Amino acid sequence: MKGVAEPVHDLGLAMGLTTTEVDAIVAGLGREPNHVELAVFAGMWSEHCSYKSTAGLLSTLPTSGPAVLAGPGAHAGCVDVGDGWAVAFKIESHNHPSAVEPYQGAATGVGGILRDVVAQGGRPVAVMDALCFGDPASAATRWLADGIVSGIGAYGNSYGVANVGGLTEFDPRYEGNPLVNALAAGLVRHDGMRTAAATGPGNVVLYVGATTGRDGILGAAFASEELADEDDRTASRSHVQVGDPFMGKKLMEAVLAFGDGLIACQDLGACGLACATTEMAAAGGTGMDLHLEAVPQREAGMDPMEVLLSESQERFLLVVTPGSVTSAVEHFRTAGVHVAVCGQVTDTGRLRAFHDGSLVVDVPAALVADGAPPRRWEAVPASPARPYPDFSPAPDPGAALLRLLSRPGIADLSRVYRRYDHTVGNRTVRGPGQGDAAVLKLPGSHAGFALTLVGRGDGCAIDPRRGVQALLGEAVRNLACVGASALAITDGINAGSPDDPVEFWRLAEMIGGLGDGLRALGLAVTGGNCSLYNESPSGAIPPTPMIGMIGRIDDVRTIPAPTLTAGDDLFLAGSLPAAATHSAYGAMMTGSLDGPAPDVDLAADERLAAFLVRQSSLGRVSAAKDAGRGGALTALAKLCIRSGVGADVALDLGARPDWRLFGESSGIAWVAADPAHGRGLEEAAAAAGVPFTRAGTVGAGHLAVEGACRLALSDLASAFSGTAVAA
């Protein structure tokens, strides 16, 4: 822009802004910003905070539904689960911090998402984690995995929240850029949900929690950059926050116990005070005056920019009525957390920050919070998917099954989740290793809710639209297998750099496919996270969606058991694939990262889910397990391993038994039932339009498929536990 001094542009570029954005700041202010103001804009207009590359894409997603009480824009989405209760839940990423400082990066990722739930008024009852690593044999992967798993466990266990499930993937394309997505869920009464909107000029701004330090300054901008070489990673460690779960626990209890005179509440996460003040004021249509010298600081000599942009953990900003200030201060001091009166709500529409009486920031709150110019990127379609190279069926299906069971992504993850406490809080009915969805009960009720977290990049790398829809179908089946009806999702979108036209096309296709899939299922997204610039010197990650889905259960006493019972009949619901599909089996046999697109039939998944939920509520289903990665035989093997009991099965194997046994397709699940319920299940399945075949019986000491394989349970268990998971 004519008249803008070059040093302002140079400083803006050094902070991660573009020339266009600096021009927009000058135009919006009607003057050049000072260096503190420019830093505030740099943090808030980073991709991490502004979503300037994805807001338009995300706006196409369905966000409302009968069960949705709060959607995108809230601290955490809220879903009605009955009896006057809502579940506040959300997923967030901490990929870049975890890549350079795995322990603290993962720990503070958990802490941050827990504070989102608390800010919404929810008491956290569960966390889940979705982790993607590179080559499990590499020293770097083992270092990252150990630090990340340790950080997740240490924070959650110390905080006192149950870790109820998740996923861990290994793929060489994540080498150097692991994905760490954390989901948190909390219970809140319908009338207890909170807002971030700072209303009422004259109301008082309170700072509560830990002291402010220099950790994490401009961490949001760091999270919006590609990961570079090792020297740059070492230098980036100063951007990573340091967590204190014990302070987090005290702060949670203090914030949830405080209500008299509370107007608004927001946790201090990315961009710290700069974010909370501008977003709260913009949401309320007000302004805010902030006195930085009043902010409790743990390091001497912090300058205004450092105080405003610090991302120190375990902090909240509250807006309270003037009459409640004295009692609020006493409440938080008694709770053992820092509290300070640091400002007030105004009618100016501006954030004004003062330091020792000097005005250091004077900017329109809405311009900072919502004014980032959208980024427009070129999209170029990726090369079409190619079929697998021709290969003959595995000569020994039993040997192929053992190989699949030992592959990372399928094999036993108990070495990961045994480091987490999944029973604290006494609400967990089903936890890790007990099925593909967690189940928790509601207070004072037999009703409950289920959570599942699915994610996979290999299918989306081939076809991002179909890949994300296949994950939606998997999540629906996971919930149905514990008798839960799907209500809504929270999503984590992980992608490469949008300035690469192919990567931006993949991102757009992934989000577009998610929207189409949600509309087909009648579900909404309540919020989530979009993480871009997930690239290392070795290249971009596969486009990787993480889908957290919640479902309601009317009575947790009727849900299918996690294990098989000897003497039950075994049924196959759905139709096995007869031709090549994208699958772990195909990748194993060919060594190819390419292959056909994932199979998607959301209507079949929906029919199967409705059937399972209804029959479970009637007490007809003893156990259920959906067929996901590795296909139907792999799913049955895992169910037998978990149960300590085998099965004899006869299936129509067709011309390519390997695809029937190991191909991955929609709408498939194993169902075990007492023989007395067999006829009723068959009739109900026919009425529901679900193929349903009596396949065998439960009770052997082996898993046998007529004409294909016969394997001892001990051999299956040995293969399943022999994974190279680094944890």
Three-class SS of 80-143 = EEECCEEEEEEEEECHHHHHHCHHHHHHHHHHHHHHHHHHCCCEEEEEEEEEEECCCCCHHHHH
Cβ-based burial of 590 (10 A; exposed 0-12, middle 13-18, buried ≥19): middle
Averaged pLDDT, 580-585: 93
Q: Do domains 17-50+195-371 and 560-727 have the same CATH topology?
A: yes
pLDDT value of position 663:
96
CB 124 within 8 Å of CB 186: yes
Helix axes 6-14, 35-44, angle to 10 degrees: 40
pLDDT tens track for 698-714: 998 999 999 999 999 99
Q: How far apart are CA 566 and CA 127, in angstroms?
A: 34
pLDDT band at 237 (very low <50, low <70, confident <90, very high): very low
Token pair of 456 as six digits: 């996979």
pLDDT band at 218 (very low <50, low <70, confident <90, very high): low
How far separated are the first and last CA of the chain, in Å rounded?
53
**Residues present in the chain in total:** 727
* Residue boundaries of the structural domains of the chain: 17-50+195-371, 560-727
pLDDT value of position 228:
57
pLDDT tens track for 546-565: 999 999 999 999 999 999 99
pLDDT tens track for 443-481: 999 999 999 999 999 999 999 999 999 999 999 999 999
Averaged pLDDT, 431-446: 94
Query: Is it the case that residue 723 has pLDDT exceeding 70?
Result: no
Regarding predicted confidence, which is higher, 233 or 621?
Answer: 621
Regarding predicted confidence, which is higher, 273 or 227?
Answer: 273
Q: What percent of the chain has pLDDT over 70?
A: 95
Regarding predicted confidence, which is higher, 643 or 426?
Answer: 643
Q: How far apart are CA 18 and CA 12, in angstroms?
A: 7
Token pair of 69 as six digits: 């009480």
Q: What is the CATH number of domain 560-727?
A: 3.90.650.10
Regarding predicted confidence, which is higher, 417 or 330?
Answer: 330
Secondary-structure percent of the chain, ordered helix, strand, coil, rounded to 5: 40, 25, 35
Averaged pLDDT, 684-709: 97
H/E stretch holding 634 reads helix 631-643
Averaged pLDDT, 498-523: 98
Pairing of the two strands 702-705 and 647-649: parallel
User: Topology of domain 17-50+195-371, per CATH?
Assistant: Phosphoribosyl-aminoimidazole Synthetase; Chain A, domain 2 (3.90.650)
Q: Show the DSSP H helices in 323-462 as ranges.
A: 325-335, 365-370, 397-405, 414-417, 458-462
pLDDT band at 385 (very low <50, low <70, confident <90, very high): confident
pLDDT tens track for 595-624: 999 999 999 999 999 999 999 999 999 999
Q: Lowest-confidence range among 109-123, 239-253, 269-283, 611-625?
A: 239-253
Active-site positions read: 48, 94
Query: Is it the case that residue 309 has pLDDT exceeding 90?
Result: yes
Cβ-based burial of 626 (10 A; exposed 0-12, middle 13-18, buried ≥19): buried
pLDDT value of position 112:
95
Query: Is it the case that residue 592 has pLDDT exceeding 70?
Result: yes
CB 664 within 8 Å of CB 630: yes
Q: How far apart are CA 561 and CA 572, in angstroms?
A: 17
pLDDT value of position 533:
95
Q: What percent of the chain has pLDDT over 90?
A: 88
pLDDT tens track for 92-144: 999 999 999 999 999 999 999 999 999 999 999 999 999 999 999 999 999 99
pLDDT value of position 229:
55
CB 226 within 8 Å of CB 533: yes
Query: Is it the case that residue 530 has pLDDT exceeding 50?
Result: yes
pLDDT tens track for 8-20: 989 999 999 999 9
pLDDT value of position 6:
66
